Amino acid sequence: MRDLAESARQGAPVDKECDRCSGRGFRRMPATRAFRAVKLLVPELHERTWNRNWKPFFEKLVTKCEIEENHADAEFRRVTC
């Protein structure tokens, strides 16, 4: 995001990491929302089963996606700079 105060001070555009999303550009979907979506597909899924088995998988999957996204971004920056 643009740092307006620093941009005005330097006379040139200055970017900084967003305080709300930590530079991701979006907020991470809460596991409770994912549970509700999965529950529509698997109506017999109990919250206890979700918390014990599915939620750790969901969180690892999201983490892996973020790692791969960061890797792709770094490669893109390396190739285009």
Say if CB 34 and CB 50 are below 8 A apart.
no
Confidence of residue 21 (pLDDT cuts 50, 70, 90): low
Confidence at residue 61, expressed as pLDDT on a 0 to 100 scale: 92
Domain count within the chain: 1
Confidence of residue 12 (pLDDT cuts 50, 70, 90): confident
Domain containing residue 57 = 4-80
| pLDDT(26) > 70 | no
Confidence at residue 59, expressed as pLDDT on a 0 to 100 scale: 93
Confidence of residue 23 (pLDDT cuts 50, 70, 90): low
Residue predicted with more confidence, 32 or 25: 32
